[in-house]
């Protein structure tokens, strides 16, 4: 079972007062307003979230739950409140943090055995910003080991019902990755919001399959220090929440950008439907997408069909060389900088999940990349060409499409398929390719990307709709997301 600071997560649901579900259904903005107005205490909300975490241990959403610490933070917040006083925008609201983002005094395992005893002395800057805004840090969420995967099927920290984090809407299915616990925790209303990290899919994908909104900002919009890395070129923290109002609020806190977001009328927005992203959709995904597009068209959004013929080749040239080459020097420097007490070799030797072990042993450590024609090429020259030429060429593929079609953003299904069963096969290369197909290119180009719920499939599973913008157009992407949520509405939470 995952470690907790004071208690073990219970696989058996515990009885809760009837009002608890109403409390945990509150969004961040709603909860902060009720606490600010004196209609709710931080202690009551934090206790309700902790009880719900206990009752949903089947999801294996947390590696560490800081029960005593969270309640102490909540009591301190309530004691410091003054009628009419200035409250932080997240005042008293519990937030969960992915277990590769430093929280002072709590384990930062990055989902891997070698780091299970590492406790950072300081919060990561993004956590400092959350605390300064009044947030209560409730614990550290589960993740794909070392963030190197999109299924969330991690064998290092199993739950009572087996390996991996489970989907908030169907506990037999994956929660996505690598920010699996953050997505499941928010989707299942274990916490009103969470932080994840996104290198190639890892905020938007778990947000999508758990019915939440997830935002990957342009790299550098949020401070990335104090986070276990994969690739400094691609890594970024990002928020997951159940409403676009919350995503905008969290972005303002994390970016230090308090400027109000101007609303966008649907009739003033042009969104591209590039065929690459819309091919080979599962029928259930297609049905949700067709309904969502019909509502957007009816509301006046201009949807533009287009081709991006250069995208597949340009993306293939960039993705793997970039993250595979940067992982070893970036992780080595991190382990030394933060005094973890373990080396890169120590981490590799103890990797538990077979898919992650294979990537490190077969590709990252030897520094090679097999090609489809059977060659094995050294990573360094491939990486150097990516940095010098090919990443700019990929970005230009996007800029050209936006320019030629007058686009405000690209629109596509976050995943072309529904989440698969939580089995080892979910971490196969074939599964990775299918799950990450649509979210990978924008990550490699460094685009801001936002996944919002589009609806529920006939099977009752959430389906996400992603908006990608050009580098630096974060606020425009957020404004489009707000508009889409206004048109499509929010989806129903899980039944349990």
Please give the positions annotated as active site. 98, 178, 202
Q: How far apart are CA 133 and CA 31, in angstroms?
A: 14
Choose among 80, 243, 65, 187: nearest CA to 137: 65
Q: How far apart are CA 111 and CA 155, in angstroms?
A: 9
Q: How far apart are CA 354 and CA 138, in angstroms?
A: 30
Mapped onto helix, strand or coil, the DSSP state of residue 369 is strand
Do β-strands 213-216 and 449-456 pair in parallel, antiparallel, or remain unpaired? Answer: antiparallel
What are the distances in angstroms from CA 225 to CA 64, 123, 175, 202, 249? 21, 10, 26, 18, 21
What are the distances in angstroms from CA 113 to CA 110, 158, 199, 323, 348? 9, 12, 21, 22, 10
Q: What are phi and psi of 129, to 5 degrees?
A: -65, -40
Largest CA distance in the chain: 69
Name, in order, each residue with C-beta under 8 angstroms of 201's C-beta and a sequence gap of 6 or more: 150, 176, 177, 178, 435, 436, 439, 440, 443
- Give the DSSP per-residue string, 162-226: BSS-B-SS-TTBB--SSSHHHHHHHHTTSSSEEEEEESSSTTHHHHHHTT-EEEEPPTTSS--TT
Say if residues 31 and 192 touch (Cβ distance below 8 Å).
yes
Say if residues 409 and 272 touch (Cβ distance below 8 Å).
yes
Q: How far apart are CA 249 and CA 252, in angstroms?
A: 5
- Structure tokens given for 22: 């109403």
Q: How many residues does the chain have?
A: 496
């Amino acid at each position: 079972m995952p470690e907790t600071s004071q208690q073990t997560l219970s696989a058996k649901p515990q009885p809760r007062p009837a009002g608890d579900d109403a409390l945990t259904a509150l969004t961040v903005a709603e909860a902060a307003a009720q606490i600010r107005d004196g209609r709710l205490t931080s202690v009551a909300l934090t206790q309700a979230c902790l009880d719900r975490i206990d009752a949903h241990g089947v999801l294996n959403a947390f590696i560490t739950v800081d029960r005593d610490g969270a309640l102490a933070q909540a009591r301190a917040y309530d004691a410091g409140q003054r009628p009419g006083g200035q409250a932080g925008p997240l005042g008293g609201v519990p937030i969960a943090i992915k277990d590769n983002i430093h929280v002072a005094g709590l384990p930062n395992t990055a989902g891997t055995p070698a780091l299970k005893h590492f406790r950072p002395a300081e919060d990561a800057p993004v956590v400092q910003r959350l605390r300064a805004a009044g947030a209560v840090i409730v614990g550290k969420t589960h993740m794909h080991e070392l963030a190197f995967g999109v299924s969330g099927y991690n064998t290092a920290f199993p739950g009572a019902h087996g390996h991996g984090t489970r989907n908030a809407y169907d506990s037999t299915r994956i929660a996505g990755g690598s920010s699996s616990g953050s997505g499941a925790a928010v989707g299942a209303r274990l916490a009103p919001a969470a932080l994840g990290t996104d290198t190639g899919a890892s905020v938007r994908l778990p947000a999508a399959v758990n019915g939440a909104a997830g935002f990957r900002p342009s790299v550098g919009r949020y401070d990335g220090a104090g986070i276990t890395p994969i690739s400094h070129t691609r890594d970024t923290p990002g928020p997951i929440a159940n409403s676009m109002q919350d995503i905008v609020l969290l972005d303002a806190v994390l970016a230090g950008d308090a400027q109000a977001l101007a609303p966008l009328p649907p009739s003033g927005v042009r969104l591209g439907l590039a065929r690459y992203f819309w091919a080979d959709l599962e029928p259930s995904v297609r049905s949700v997408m067709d309904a969502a597009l019909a509502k957007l068209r009816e509301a006046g959004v201009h949807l533009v069909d287009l081709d991006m013929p250069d995208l597949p080749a340009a993306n293939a040239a960039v993705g793997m060389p970039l993250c595979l080459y940067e992982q070893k020097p970036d992780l080595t420097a991190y382990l030394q900088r933060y005094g973890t007490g373990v080396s890169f070799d120590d981490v590799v030797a103890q990797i538990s999940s077979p898919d992650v072990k294979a990537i490190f042993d077969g590709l990252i450590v030897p520094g090679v990349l097999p090609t489809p024609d059977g060659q094995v090429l050294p990573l360094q020259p491939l990486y150097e060409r990516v940095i010098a030429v090919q990443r700019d060429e990929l970005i230009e593929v996007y800029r050209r499409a936006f320019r030629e079609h007058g686009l405000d953003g690209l629109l596509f299904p976050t995943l072309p398929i529904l989440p698969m069963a939580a089995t080892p096969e979910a971490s196969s290369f074939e599964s990775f390719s299918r799950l990450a197909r649509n979210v990978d290119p924008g990550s490699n180009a460094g685009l801001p990307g936002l996944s919002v719920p589009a609806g529920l499939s006939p099977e009752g599973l959430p389906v996400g709709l992603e908006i990608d913008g050009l580098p630096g157009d974060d606020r425009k992407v957020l404004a489009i997301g707000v508009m889409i949520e206004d048109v499509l509405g929010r989806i129903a939470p899980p039944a349990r």
